[in-house]
Amino acid sequence: MLGKNAKLFFCGSMGVLVAAIAMAAWGFPKIVQSQINKNLQLENSSTMFEKWRVVPVPLTFKIYVFNVTNTDEVNEGAKPALDEIGPFVYKEYREKRILGYGENDTIRYMLKKTFYFDEEASAPLTQDDEVTVINYSYMAALLTVNDLMPAAVGLVNTALGSFFTNLTDPFMRVKVRDLFFDGIFLNCIGENSALSLVCGKIKADKQPNMRPAEDGSGFYFSMFNYLNTTESGPYDMVRGIENIHELGHIVGFDGAPTMRYWGDPYCGQLNGSDGSIFPPLNQIVPDRVYIFEPEICRSMSVGLVGERNIFNISSYLYEIDESVLASKLANRNNKCFCKKNWSANHDGCLLMGLINLAPCRGAPAIASLPHFYLGSEELLEYFEEGVKPEKEKHESFVYLDATTGVVIKGLQRIQFNIELRNMKSVPQLEKVPTGVFPLLWIEEGAEIPAELRQELHQAHTLLGYVEALRWAILGLAILLSLASGWCASRATGVGLCARQHNSVSFIGNNFDLNKG
Ligand SMILES: *[C@@H]1O[C@H](CO)[C@@H](O)[C@H](O)[C@H]1NC(C)=O
Ligand SMILES: *[C@@H]1O[C@H](CO)[C@@H](O)[C@H](O)[C@H]1NC(C)=O
Ligand SMILES: *[C@@H]1O[C@H](CO)[C@@H](O)[C@H](O)[C@H]1NC(C)=O
Ligand SMILES: *[C@@H]1O[C@H](CO)[C@@H](O)[C@H](O)[C@H]1NC(C)=O
Ligand SMILES: *[C@@H]1O[C@H](CO)[C@@H](O)[C@H](O)[C@H]1NC(C)=O
Ligand SMILES: *[C@@H]1O[C@H](CO)[C@@H](O)[C@H](O)[C@H]1NC(C)=O
Ligand SMILES: *[C@@H]1O[C@H](CO)[C@@H](O)[C@H](O)[C@H]1NC(C)=O
Ligand SMILES: *[C@@H]1O[C@H](CO)[C@@H](O)[C@H](O)[C@H]1NC(C)=O
Ligand SMILES: *[C@@H]1O[C@H](CO)[C@@H](O)[C@H](O)[C@H]1NC(C)=O
């Protein structure tokens, strides 16, 4: 009778062992995972949703501008000497306006950014500081005309005299306030066919940097005003309810599933998220994560560097690397980004490290990383001084929480340049050296708010407990089966065997990570 009982206990506890192994290996992680996922996906009951919709703390938007210190010498053909001035710091608020929900688990929204100058963080610099920079809109107009009808450049330049007052050289002396946001007035009133050509082109291209004056007399040129006044989008983003690994992927922009500017299905791909949200990383840690940048009309990517501890949170670090900006020789796929002949030596492609924005902006602008970091050495030879790439100061990176994929810290940096080109038919450009001339660079930085950091800490701690519990249950089950095995063989010890019942009752617990 006792022996029969012990056998029963033995069989029972073997069953418990199997169940415990199954729970430890599969059940627990699954339950925890589904709790995490629930809080990440873009549904209005989830923890992340409101933080995603209205970013709770402002991002830091820093601008560094290149002051040209030897304009007279450059006008005579010398190498430019630049002096970086900055940062001019702005607070950037981001808010999404939800337009609705689409097919295939998507949400559609418009993104609104608002910028406010941060006097304290910028001190001693102010928005009224004056700098000497390359005359961006002037070069843009001349380069555009030069492309359309090279023979007319001289003529157009004369006409530009009335468009740009005081045209003595390709540089301008401006207050940074006007250059960044307020705008520099460009006059379009005048009896002149070349002038109306340039003004007509600006109007037709709807260049984002050109804000039409209210009275129609011309345009205001500024680098970032359009970011502050217009919403971008609409974006279609995957909500991650059906498949959490697709969370945050942008599958549509401006109503289309690809960017049409590059005229190529590969380069037009919308890859990755808007940089604010990523899928959880605890099952799949990708080698590369993509971020779609509407400002430069393409997706960029950062590569996995490794595991790092930041703010005491274990996370994965991703950094920008050469493959993204590589010339087409190094990365054949990048060929479709080569849309413009920069010079005969370069076969339609810009030098390594440069992104041609002409197809995207309607103006012959060129983007790069600050100080041409990861760019061709050749770019640096153009300068006398003031351009010196350094990884720490000029790269882009993002730290993602190792479990949830939440952005712990991220910095994104872009420099805007334009070509300074020697043109014999234009007196102002007769002697200048030809090269890619930087205007300014920006750094957009985000950091996890303290409150969310707290929640992540709690989640990680809880996960630690759950992990410990997994092994504890497994260990207990093994102990019990050993004990009952011993019971069966010795046909004694009912007292010992009777204790096995509550071993599985933990499993019913709900591991709620939602503390917010
Ligand atoms: C939550 O989202 C649904 C769509 O999934 C929407 O119909 C509903 O109005 C939202 N509820 C609130 C309170 O915003
Ligand atoms: C920029 O350089 C010019 C000389 O070219 C100088 O007069 C001016 O003060 C500089 N601006 C700042 C903000 O340092
Ligand atoms: C949704 O997915 C299906 C199948 O993958 C596809 O045929 C359809 O075009 C998608 N709808 C949208 C709006 O993208
Ligand atoms: C951005 O726009 C807001 C109004 O929408 C304005 O108050 C603010 O001054 C603007 N920021 C800058 C830097 O011009
Ligand atoms: C043009 O240059 C003159 C002298 O260099 C200066 O006094 C005048 O203010 C300038 N005009 C404009 C509109 O910049
Ligand atoms: C540069 O262009 C601005 C207009 O964008 C014009 O007012 C200024 O006179 C130009 N500067 C020079 C030195 O030609
Ligand atoms: C888009 O992502 C795929 C992998 O998901 C990658 O192979 C491709 O190179 C990316 N395209 C661009 C333009 O970055
Ligand atoms: C980091 O976290 C560990 C436990 O996760 C804690 O013991 C330690 O005090 C924390 N350190 C700091 C500086 O917060
Ligand atoms: C670029 O220019 C070179 C010579 O000027 C020419 O041979 C080549 O076909 C051009 N490439 C493109 C893409 O226009």
DSSP for 297-321, please give it: TEEEEEEEEEEEEETTEEEEEEE--
Mean pLDDT computed over 132-158: 82
Amino acid in the structure at residue 41: Q
- CB within 8 Å of 60: residues ≥ 6 apart: 89, 90, 91, 92, 118, 121, 443, 444, 445, 446
What is the 78 CA–ligand 7 centroid distance (Å)? 42
Going by pLDDT thresholds of 50, 70 and 90, the confidence category of residue 340 is low
Q: Which of 228-232, 306-310, 450-454 has the lowest mean pLDDT?
A: 450-454
Residue nearest to atom 12 of ligand 3 (CA): 103
50 CB-near residues (< 8 Å, 6+ apart): none
d(CA 353, CA 375): 4
pTM over 0.95: no
pLDDT of residue 291: 93
| Ligand 4 centroid distance, CA of 187 (Å) | 24
Cα of 340 from ligand 9 centre, angstroms: 9
Q: Which atom of ligand 6 is nearest to the CA of 171?
A: 13
pLDDT at 156 over 90: no
Q: Is the CB of 44 under 6 A from ligand 1?
A: yes
Average pLDDT over residues 318-337: 77
Summarised one tens digit per residue, pLDDT across range 384-400 is: 999 999 999 999 999 99
With 80 as the cut, is the pLDDT of residue 372 above it?
Answer: yes
Q: Ligand 5 centre from 166 Cα, in Å?
A: 6
Ligand 3 pocket, 343 CB below 6 A? no
Q: What is the mean pLDDT of residues 24-31?
A: 76
What pLDDT shows up at residue 235?
94
Whether residue 70 contacts residue 80, with contact meaning beta carbons closer than 8 Å, is answered with yes
Segment 39-94, tens digit of pLDDT: 888 988 887 898 899 988 999 999 999 999 999 999 999 999 999 998 999 999 99
Has residue 119 got a pLDDT over 60? yes
| Structural domain boundaries in the chain | 2-32+460-515, 57-448
- Ligand 2 close to Cβ of residue 69 (< 6 A): yes
Q: For residue 331, is pLDDT > 50? A: yes
Residue nearest to atom 1 of ligand 1 (CA): 44
Atom nearest to 257 CA in ligand 3: 14
For residue 165, the model assigns a pLDDT of: 60
Counting residues of the chain whose pLDDT is more than 70, the rounded percentage is 90
Ligand 5 closest atom vs CA 166: 1
Atom number of ligand 1 nearest to Cα 44: 1
Give the model confidence (pLDDT) of 208-220 as tens digits: 888 998 888 888 9
Instruction: Count CB-CB contacts under 10 A for residue 32.
Output: 20
Is 101's C-beta closer than 6 angstroms to any atom of ligand 1?
Answer: yes
Please state the atom number of ligand 2 nearest to the C-alpha of residue 129.
13
Q: Where are the alpha helices (DSSP H) in 406-449?
A: none
Residue nearest to atom 5 of ligand 5 (CA): 166
Q: How does the average pLDDT of the chain come out, rounded? A: 84
Task: State if residue 45 touches ligand 1 by the CB under 6 angstroms criterion.
Answer: no
More confident residue, 29 or 286: 286
Residue 277 has a CB neighbour count (10 Å cut-off) of: 21
Candidate from 119-123, 291-295, 362-366 with smallest mean pLDDT = 362-366
Ligand 2: centre distance to CA 173 (Å): 9
Per-residue pLDDT at 30 exceeds 50: yes
pLDDT tier at 14 (50, 70, 90 boundaries)?
confident
62 bridge partner residues: 89, 443
User: For ligand 7, atom 10, which residue shows the shortest CA distance?
Assistant: 271
Residue nearest to atom 11 of ligand 6 (CA): 172
With a cut of 60, say whether residue 504 has pLDDT above it.
Answer: no
Nearest CA to ligand 9 atom 3: 344
Q: What is the 3-state secondary structure (H, E, C) of 459-492?
A: HHHHHHHHHHHHHHHHHHHHHHHHHHHHHHHHCC
Dist. CA 79–CA 384, nearest whole Å: 5
Higher-pLDDT residue of 446 and 339 is 446
Residue nearest to atom 3 of ligand 7 (CA): 271
pLDDT at 497: 47
Q: Looking at this protein, which amino acid is placed at residue 453?
A: R
Q: Which of 238, 264, 269 to mutate to test the pocket of ligand 7 (most atoms within 8 A of CB)?
A: 269
C-alpha to C-alpha distances, 443 to 190, 414, 440, nearest whole angstrom: 39, 7, 10
Distance CA 308, CA 121 (A): 28
Q: In the structure, what pLDDT confidence band is assigned to residue 382 with cuts at 50, 70 and 90?
A: very high
Mean pLDDT lowest for which of 217-231, 277-291, 317-331? 317-331
Closest C-alpha among 483, 507, 501 to residue 6:
483
**Nearest protein Cα to ligand 7, atom 5:** 271
DSSP 353-371: TEEE-HHHHSS-EEEESGG
Least confident of 188-202, 404-418, 447-461: 188-202
Residue 169 C-alpha to ligand 5 middle, in angstroms? Answer: 13
CA torsion sign, 253 to 254 to 255 to 261? negative
Say what the pLDDT of residue 511 is: 41
Site to substitute for ligand 3 among 101, 104, 236, 258, most atoms within 8 A of C-beta: 104
Q: For residue range 233-289, what is the model confidence (pLDDT) as tens digits?
A: 899 999 999 998 999 999 999 989 988 888 788 888 899 998 889 999 877 899 999
> Ligand 2 pocket, 110 CB below 6 A?
no
- Residue to substitute in 147, 341, 342 for testing ligand 9 pocket (most ligand atoms within 8 angstroms of CB): 341
